[in-house]
């Protein structure tokens, strides 16, 4: 058993390195010159003093967007573990978090912290409502994952346009006051808000990990995730656990929406690309794995930023989906997921 | 009155899309979410050939359809290995990728600026420029699509497709090469979607990537599900209803800033309601499980 | 006719099939028996090509079919049913059977557009064949019903009819009498006997050793993936290993 585990670990690390390498080569795309420039970059990267500062900036930018992706993936994963389908509407809870924060903070002029807290609570409630109203009736029959996904899609489209009706299509922002200058770090710039994003993400991840691993509810979630029937046998009310998962996951989505809105704009379609990235990050990291969500999110953030450094920004989405399709076809269990069982016959 | 004909033409084009998607999703059970990408290929191929090389729209139509079916063959590959929701994600992704190419490969497609001035069809030197003649053209193609797909689905070949939809593993155990059928179905479905794209391009005479977003794919899927999976008449009904009904909103005099999101809200709500209460849609015999 | 040599299959370190070897002679009725989890269905899955074994060979009529894809194996003459019944639920009973029938050219893509007279005749003949099979198993009155509306027993019979349509060399039946009322069990066994009389070869899985005593000519007993006994019902009755495997079962 031991040697198998270390073998698996080595395999995973190798796979990660190879993927990053291939990504780099594909993006830069120039054969021998590529290899030369890669070696140059590594040299400069390791020698911190004379580092190519733009590389650090890209990496930091990647961490920032990656943290948001990871947070979305985290909430998504916690929900996925209990219901086992892709809750696409997670993206609209993310957007709702931002819009609610706007409504409370900017529009109603409630204190910043209370506004954000309220927004997160309402986002959590929204997620639970979606589950109760839409998914519960479907759970009564033996509904396939695909039907859940399509239904979730429908909810997403409905709510996204509802947000647009209520708040209008124009761009909104949570930013108030003058723009503070960023800190200089290894030749790159990072602002307070950006640091907040990365730190919040890591803290929330750690808290969730503690919750899942150490608390009674966390154990129950794992039980429902691994063996729903067995869980019921030992008296776990799976419906209640699912509700808790939706509440926590949606709260995380709302928080992510608020965090990103401190940095960029709020618009009705923000949830769409957000949830797509979240799903891609989850699959890359290994669907159902919490450390995988963190890894996948950061990986996707960094990969995207590396990508648009050389290619135009408009290709960002396409790059993410190419990565997704490659993973789906060749490593559907992601980096940290367990190899999926062959189809049961 | 002209406007009504215009609506009918658009509905006809969507009918070709929903019929071809029904073959893939409704009869063979493959969760193909990026169908509009085939139309995109058809439209751009046809337009670029006409604009840059002066090639007749008829040839462009065929070329576009063939290129679209080539993409169909490529899309078929993930369908061999992925199931249900994962396939949905992959085909969704391919739809986004094709859209991104249309939007970002500016040197080829002029990106968001689009391609204006696309010529219309002409028969024996007579240009089809008035709406009535275009309507007849579109309806002929709808009829062609309907006849072809009806023949496919009513034949022993079609029976095998339904078997694959119901249970792939049992189909394998009955000696059917499931992969071969999936490939054929995607190629044929993409072919007709490509035709629809060309028809659209030469009618509107201007295309840009915004006509081929992933939301359009979802709309076509909704037409298939709403009309009824596994029912060709249902696809026709679904397409017509989902094109005509939003127009009624405009008739009620709503400003487009309200009508547009309202239309999408109805689509979203319809999808949810269908999935929960009537997965077989209006005329379908097959329940989306 | 069918040979399995040193078959080995592991799942996450658990040996589902452990160095298994046996031979099925033509025109015989053989029962593959063992407690739940002893690897019987896994053997079927490997033989019919749905699972790949780590080691070992499967040989059909002197041809090595170990790495052949499942649909080809079905075409080569192995017809199998599934433990939890895989029918085509939302199409008719008749269509279910017709999907097992072989078409010369009639089920090609091109045939959808150009129906020659020969094809039309073939279709008519196949419909007749399918009806005959439904009559043989006794559910002809359900001809136009959707398969999902059938009772459990009728479904099992339909699965049999479908596999008959395939005209296989060897029938692999996975728990053909599971969940059936005694009367339907007798019907099923009666049909299996009729198949043997018409020269067919049948290998079937059953977990209840008792029920196979009357019908099987040879019994192969598995436990934890290993073959622990092989022989006629008489021989198996006396076998101590078999009794041990069926812990606590009264002596037969």
pLDDT tens string A165-223: 999 888 888 877 777 777 776 667 788 888 888 888 888 888 888 888 888 888 888 88
Lowest mean pLDDT among A278-287, B96-105, B117-126: B117-126
**pLDDT score of A344:** 39
Mapped onto helix, strand or coil, the DSSP state of residue C105 is: coil
Please state the rounded mean pLDDT for residues C58-70: 88
Asked whether the beta carbons of residue B86 and residue A165 sit closer than 8 angstroms, the reply is no
CA distance C27 to chain A (A): 27
Cross-chain CB nearest to A144 (options B78, B84, B271): B84
Asked whether the beta carbons of residue C107 and residue B156 sit closer than 8 angstroms, the reply is yes
State the Cα angle at B16 between B11 and B20, rounded to 5°. 140
On the question of pLDDT at C113 being above 50, the answer is: yes
Beta strands in B182-243 (DSSP E): none
Distances (CA, A) of A266 to A75, A158, A170, B96: 20, 18, 9, 22
**pLDDT score of A168:** 87
Please state the rounded mean pLDDT for residues B209-226: 94
**pLDDT score of A2:** 43
On the question of pLDDT at B237 being above 90, the answer is: yes
**pLDDT score of A15:** 65
Asked whether the beta carbons of residue A144 and residue B97 sit closer than 8 angstroms, the reply is no
Q: Is A142 on the interface with C (CB under 8 A)?
A: no
Distances (CA, A) of A201 to A63, A72, A99, A173, A194: 10, 10, 20, 21, 11
| Chain C: partners with 3+ C-beta pairs within 8 Å | A, B
Instruction: List the structure tokens of A236.
Output: 């776990």
Residues in B closer than 8 angstroms to C48, CB to CB, are 173
**pLDDT score of A22:** 64
Residues in A closer than 8 angstroms to C41, CB to CB, are 345
CA separation for the pair B94, A2 (Å, rounded):
40
Residues in B closer than 8 angstroms to A318, CB to CB, are 96-97, 100-101, 104
On the question of pLDDT at B181 being above 90, the answer is: yes
Asked whether the beta carbons of residue A137 and residue B100 sit closer than 8 angstroms, the reply is no
**pLDDT score of A52:** 54
Asked whether the beta carbons of residue B94 and residue A321 sit closer than 8 angstroms, the reply is yes
Residue B44's region, left for phi above 0, alpha for psi from -120 to 50, else beta, is: alpha
CA separation for the pair B166, B155 (Å, rounded):
17
Residues in A closer than 8 angstroms to B270, CB to CB, are 154
Nearest-CA residue of chain B relative to C100?
A: B174
B14: confidence class by pLDDT, cuts 50, 70, 90: very high
Residues in A closer than 8 angstroms to C83, CB to CB, are 345
Residues in C closer than 8 angstroms to B144, CB to CB, are none
Q: Is C51 on the interface with A (CB under 8 A)?
A: yes
C252: confidence class by pLDDT, cuts 50, 70, 90: very low
Asked whether the beta carbons of residue C113 and residue B166 sit closer than 8 angstroms, the reply is no
Model-level pTM?
A: 0.87
pLDDT in tens, B183-216: 999 999 999 999 999 999 999 989 999 999 999 9
As a three-state string, the secondary structure of A166-201 is HHCCCCECCCCCCCCCCEEECCEEECHHHHHHHHHH
Please state the rounded mean pLDDT for residues B153-172: 92
CA separation for the pair A93, A124 (Å, rounded):
8
| Segments of chain A scoring below 70 in pLDDT | 1-53, 185-187, 310, 334-345
CA distance B113 to chain C (A): 41
Asked whether the beta carbons of residue B261 and residue A328 sit closer than 8 angstroms, the reply is no
Asked whether the beta carbons of residue B285 and residue C90 sit closer than 8 angstroms, the reply is yes
Q: Are B94 and B34 in contact (CB under 8 A)?
A: yes
**pLDDT score of A40:** 60
B interface test, pick of A145, A154, A268, A342 with most B CB neighbours within 10 Å: A154
Q: Are C165 and C101 in contact (CB under 8 A)?
A: yes
User: B111: burial class by Cβ within 10 Å (0-12, 13-18, 19+)?
Assistant: middle
At A31, phi and psi to the nearest 5?
Answer: 65, -130
Q: Are B193 and B35 in contact (CB under 8 A)?
A: yes
Which 8-state DSSP code applies to residue B23?
I
Lowest mean pLDDT among A196-205, A332-341, C54-63, C120-129: A332-341
**pLDDT score of A42:** 63
Which of residues B286 and B50 earns the better pLDDT score? B50
Asked whether the beta carbons of residue A144 and residue B103 sit closer than 8 angstroms, the reply is no
Chain A and chain B share a number of CB contacts under 8 A equal to 125
**pLDDT score of A50:** 41
Q: Is A141 on the interface with C (CB under 8 A)?
A: no
Average pLDDT, chain C: 86
Nearest-CA residue of chain B relative to A142?
A: B289
Chain A and chain C share a number of CB contacts under 8 A equal to 8
CATH 1.10.3710 describes domain A61-330: no
Q: Are A260 and A244 in contact (CB under 8 A)?
A: no
Residues in A closer than 8 angstroms to C46, CB to CB, are none
CA separation for the pair A335, A8 (Å, rounded):
11
Please state the rounded mean pLDDT for residues C14-27: 87
Which of residues A343 and B220 earns the better pLDDT score? B220
């Amino acid at each position: 058993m031991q040697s198998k585990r270390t073998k698996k670990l080595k395999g995973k690390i190798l796979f990660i390195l190879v993927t990053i390498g291939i990504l780099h080569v594909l993006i830069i795309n120039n054969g021998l010159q590529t290899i030369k420039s890669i070696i140059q970059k590594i040299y400069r990267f390791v020698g911190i003093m004379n580092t190519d500062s733009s590389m650090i900036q890209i990496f930091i930018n990647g961490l920032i967007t990656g943290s948001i992706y990871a947070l979305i993936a985290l909430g998504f994963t916690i929900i996925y573990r209990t219901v086992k389908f892709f809750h696409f509407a997670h993206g609209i809870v993310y957007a709702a978090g931002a819009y609610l924060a706007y409504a409370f903070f900017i529009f109603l002029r409630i204190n910043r912290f209370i506004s954000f807290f309220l927004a997160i609570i309402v986002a959590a409630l929204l997620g639970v409502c979606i589950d109760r109203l839409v998914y519960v009736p479907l759970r009564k029959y033996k509904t396939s994952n695909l039907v859940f996904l399509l239904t979730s899609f429908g909810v997403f489209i409905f709510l996204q346009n509802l947000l647009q009706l209520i708040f209008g299509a124009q761009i909104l922002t949570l930013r108030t006051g003058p723009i503070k200058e960023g800190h200089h770090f290894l030749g790159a710039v990072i602002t307070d808000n950006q640091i907040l994003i990365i730190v919040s993400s890591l803290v929330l991840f750690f808290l969730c990990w503690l919750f899942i691993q150490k608390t009674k509810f966390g154990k129950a979630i794992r039980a429902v995730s691994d063996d729903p029937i067995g869980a019921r046998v030992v008296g776990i009310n799976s419906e209640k656990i699912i509700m808790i998962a939706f509440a926590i996951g949606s709260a995380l989505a709302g928080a992510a929406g608020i965090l990103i809105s401190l940095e960029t704009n709020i618009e009705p379609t923000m949830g769409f690309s957000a949830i797509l990235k979240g799903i891609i990050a989850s699959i890359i990291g290994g669907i159902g794995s919490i450390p995988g969500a963190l890894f996948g999110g950061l990986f996707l953030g960094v990969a995207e930023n590396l990508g648009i450094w050389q290619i135009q920004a408009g290709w960002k989405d396409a790059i993410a989906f190419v990565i997704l399709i490659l993973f789906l076809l060749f490593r559907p269990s992601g980096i940290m997921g367990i190899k999926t069982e062959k189809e049961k016959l | 009155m002209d406007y009504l004909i215009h609506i009918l033409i658009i509905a006809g084009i969507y009918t070709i899309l929903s019929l071809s998607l029904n073959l893939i999703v409704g009869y063979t059970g493959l969760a193909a979410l990026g169908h509009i990408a085939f139309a995109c290929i058809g439209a751009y191929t046809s337009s670029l050939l006409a604009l840059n090389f002066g090639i007749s729209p008829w040839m462009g139509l065929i070329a576009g359809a063939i290129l679209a079916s080539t993409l169909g063959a490529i899309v078929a590959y993930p369908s061999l290995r992925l199931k249900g929701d994962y396939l949905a994600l992959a085909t969704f992704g391919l739809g986004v990728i094709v859209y991104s190419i249309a939007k970002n490969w500016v040197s080829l497609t002029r990106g968001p600026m689009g391609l204006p001035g696309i010529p219309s069809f002409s028969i024996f030197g007579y240009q089809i420029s008035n709406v009535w003649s275009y309507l007849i053209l579109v309806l002929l193609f709808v009829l062609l699509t309907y006849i072809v797909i009806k023949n496919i689905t009513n034949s022993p070949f079609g029976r095998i497709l339904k078997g694959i939809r119901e249970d792939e593993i049992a189909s394998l155990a009955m000696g059917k090469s499931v992969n071969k059928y999936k490939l054929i179905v995607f190629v044929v479905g993409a072919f007709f979607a490509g035709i629809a794209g060309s028809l659209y391009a030469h009618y509107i005479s201007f295309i840009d990537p915004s006509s081929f977003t992933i939301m359009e794919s979802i709309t076509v899927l909704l037409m298939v599900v709403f009309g009824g999976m596994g029912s060709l008449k249902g696809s026709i009904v679904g397409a017509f209803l989902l094109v005509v009904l939003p127009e009624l909103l405009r008739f009620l005099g709503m400003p487009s800033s309200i009508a547009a999101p309202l239309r999408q809200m109805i689509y979203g709500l319809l999808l949810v309601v269908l999935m929960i209460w009537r997965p077989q849609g209006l005329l379908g015999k097959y329940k989306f499980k | 006719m069918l040979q399995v040599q040193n078959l080995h299959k592991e799942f996450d370190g658990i040996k589902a099939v452990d160095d298994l070897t046996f031979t099925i002679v033509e025109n015989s009725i053989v029962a593959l028996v063992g407690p739940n989890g002893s690897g019987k269905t896994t053997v079927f899955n490997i033989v019919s090509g749905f699972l790949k074994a780590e080691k070992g060979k499967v040989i059909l009529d002197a041809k090595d079919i170990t790495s052949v894809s499942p649909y080809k194996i079905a075409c080569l003459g192995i017809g199998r049913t599934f433990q939890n019944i895989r029918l085509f639920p939302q199409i008719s009973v008749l269509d279910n059977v017709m999907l097992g029938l072989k078409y010369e050219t009639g089920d090609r893509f091109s045939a959808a557009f150009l129906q020659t007279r020969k094809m039309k005749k073939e279709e008519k003949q196949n419909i007749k064949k399918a009806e005959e099979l439904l009559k043989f198993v006794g559910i002809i009155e359900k001809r136009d019903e959707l398969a999902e509306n059938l009772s459990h027993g009728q479904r099992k019979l339909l699965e049999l009819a479908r596999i008959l349509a395939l005209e296989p060399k060897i029938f692999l039946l996975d728990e053909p009498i599971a969940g059936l009322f005694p009367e339907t069990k007798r019907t099923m066994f009666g049909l299996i006997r009729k198949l043997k009389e018409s020269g067919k070869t049948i290998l079937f899985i059953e977990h209840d050793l008792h029920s196979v005593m009357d019908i099987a000519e040879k019994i192969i007993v598995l436990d934890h993936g290993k073959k622990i006994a092989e022989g006629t019902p008489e021989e198996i009755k006396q076998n101590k290993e078999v009794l041990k495997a069926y812990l606590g079962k009264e002596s037969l």
